[in-house]
Amino acid sequence: MGDSILNGKRILAVDDEPDVLTVLEEEIFGAAPKCKFEKAMTYEEAAKKLESPAYDIVILDIMGVRGFDLLDLAVRKNLKVVMLTAHALSPEALKRSFEMKARAYLPKEKLGEVVPFLEDVLKYEYLPGWKRVLEKLKGFFDSKFESDWEKKTGLVWQEWHKWE
């Protein structure tokens, strides 16, 4: 590979599980060996990293590192954020991620597919990017959430063409 638009980009991944950070690093470097990948394992460490250099993408675990607090910090700096979760996999956390201006919400079960999602975050604006996330993960969310999760969250992405 090596021709990913992630090459040359700065990525910060924040998770309290070292194995998740290792998988992210391997997946991202496999596609983009020239990107700069940084890690943090605590809220405090991540908040400090977010003070200085600008990142092209920030990947935040929701649980364990106060992911929504970090999302707020990162969005105020106009950073593109991807929320990653296993324990907070719910329609409510999905909706909150969207409302707080994250660019994507990914289950940790999809870590092996993270690169195309990250590339989409760089390629697409907010609503078109979310539309792609939801198109790709609709089947997954349908199997994990109640069947009416889209209506409950208000994320009826098939109707978003009205606002694009």
For residue 98, give both structure tokens. 């969207």
Decide if 130 contacts 143 (C-beta within 8 A): no
Dump pLDDT digits (tens) for 127-145.
889 889 988 998 898 898 8
Out of 3.10.50.40, 3.40.50.10860, 3.40.50.2300, 3.40.50.300, select the CATH number for domain 10-162. Answer: 3.40.50.2300
The band of 163, judged by pLDDT with boundaries at 50, 70 and 90, is: very low
Give dist(CA 4, CA 123) in Å, integer.
Answer: 11
Reply yes or no on whether the pLDDT at 1 is more than 80. no
| Cα Rg of the chain (Å, integer) | 15
**Residues pairing with 108 in the sheet:** none
Dump pLDDT digits (tens) for 4-58.
999 999 999 999 999 999 999 999 999 999 999 999 999 999 999 999 878 999 9
pLDDT the model gives residue 158: 63
Dump pLDDT digits (tens) for 79-126.
999 999 988 888 899 999 999 999 999 999 999 999 999 999 999 998
| CB within 8 Å of 52: residues ≥ 6 apart | none
Q: Which amino acid, one-letter code, is at 110?
A: K
Reply yes or no on whether the pLDDT at 162 is more than 90. no
For residue 123, give both structure tokens. 């390629």
pLDDT the model gives residue 61: 94
Reply yes or no on whether the pLDDT at 159 is more than 80. no
Decide if 94 contacts 114 (C-beta within 8 A): no
pLDDT the model gives residue 149: 82
> Under the phi-then-psi rule, with left for phi > 0, alpha for psi from -120 to 50, and beta for the rest, what region is 101?
left
Q: Between residues 157 and 30, which one has the greater pLDDT?
A: 30
Dihedral (Cα; 149, 140, 143, 17), 10-degree rounding: -100
**Residues pairing with 88 in the sheet:** none
